[in-house]
Amino acid sequence: MNRFLGPVTVPDPTALADVQRLCDVAEGYTHDDDLFLRAMNESNAWHAERSPLFASLYGDRGPIGELSEQPFVHANFFKMHQVVSVPEKDVRAHMTSSGTTGQKSQMHFDDWTLGAGRRMVARLFEHNGWISDDPVNYLLYYYQPQPGLQLGTAATGQLTCQFAPANATEYGLPNTGAGHEFDPFGAIRALLRFAADGRPVRIFGFPSFLAFTLDRMLATGVPTIELPQDSLVMLGGGWKGNADKQIGKPELYRRIHEQLGIAEDRIRDSFGSVEHSVPYFECSGHSMHVPSWSRVLIRSVRTLEPLPYGEKGYLQFLSPYITSAPAQSVLMGDLASLHPAEECGCGLSTPWFTVHGRAGVSRNRSCAIAAAEMLKGRS
């Protein structure tokens, strides 16, 4: 068994019994709504007792019977304030968001929150059959680790490499000693070497830098590279400061298949944030299903009222597992829509969501502008 699949115990088994039960659900995609609500109410009570911020939001309401009525904190709050619900001595990790500009979110994690989050990732890797004892070669489009680097994406990169032993690891964003720089030629050399080696290759990280590597391959006449059949591409982190160069997923997946020989069902995107560290992975049909341990709501950009399936609005994440900070219900700046499971057709039984724009769809067009345009269209 992978070490991340082992048991993890909540800080207070009495106060957080249903949180424990929820996070012990081994199946990756099954929704027990009654258990989830009970766990959310336990989480709310936990944070109300320990966080003045959340206590002010929660008031004296007691148990809440509807997901849509759960109080939430806007993700931007964590960019301006550092809040915790545990003693400083219990904080085991401090991570920041990976945005290239602006104020970064500052989040703190205790042992339970870290362990539960890692187990979620492990269970989704297990669900997809991606845990292996055979060595693979890694090309990581994350920031190469260095002392003091606290980015959530760097931590994610290290975690996702725990599910198959490394034969060799190369970084597309190596540490130069004065920071990190994209190295397309180093990435191309690594791909050529890995193809000759014959072991499966796992390519994880920012999609923009993989796309730029493919561009450079074409520009310099590098022919199609046939990576082994069991290779895997897992993208995540968005296009960040390169949003003005972004290409659509279908085009990117097609190019990965054509230039690297990887089947499209082995190419997946993922979504996550340091403010809400539940993993969201695409299924084989490229839909982002909501896993067992979280829920997703979409709220109107005009009224913040919850919207039905198919409507675009602000993305809200809920998960009761985090005990270190009052981030069990977070309203993101992303515009998204939620869809019923059957509209995907992959066989998973939980709803899935589509993100229509992260904060900063381009360098001159933010989600706030996109939201304003949506409002204008509804007027």
Instruction: Give residue 103's pLDDT.
Output: 58
* Residue indicated by tokens 């019994």: 17
Instruction: Give residue 354's pLDDT.
Output: 96
* Residue indicated by tokens 């298949």: 257
Whether the CA torsion 7, 10, 12, 14 is positive or negative: it is negative
Instruction: Give residue 98's pLDDT.
Output: 56
Instruction: Give residue 361's pLDDT.
Output: 43
User: In the chain, which residues have pLDDT < 70?
Assistant: 1, 97-105, 146-157, 358-379
Residues in Cβ contact with 43 at an 8 Å cutoff, skipping those fewer than 6 apart: 16, 19, 320, 321, 322, 323, 328
Count CB atoms within 10 A of the CB of residue 353.
Answer: 21
Instruction: Give residue 82's pLDDT.
Output: 86
First to last CA, the chain: 55
Instruction: Give residue 143's pLDDT.
Output: 87
Quote the pTM value: 0.89
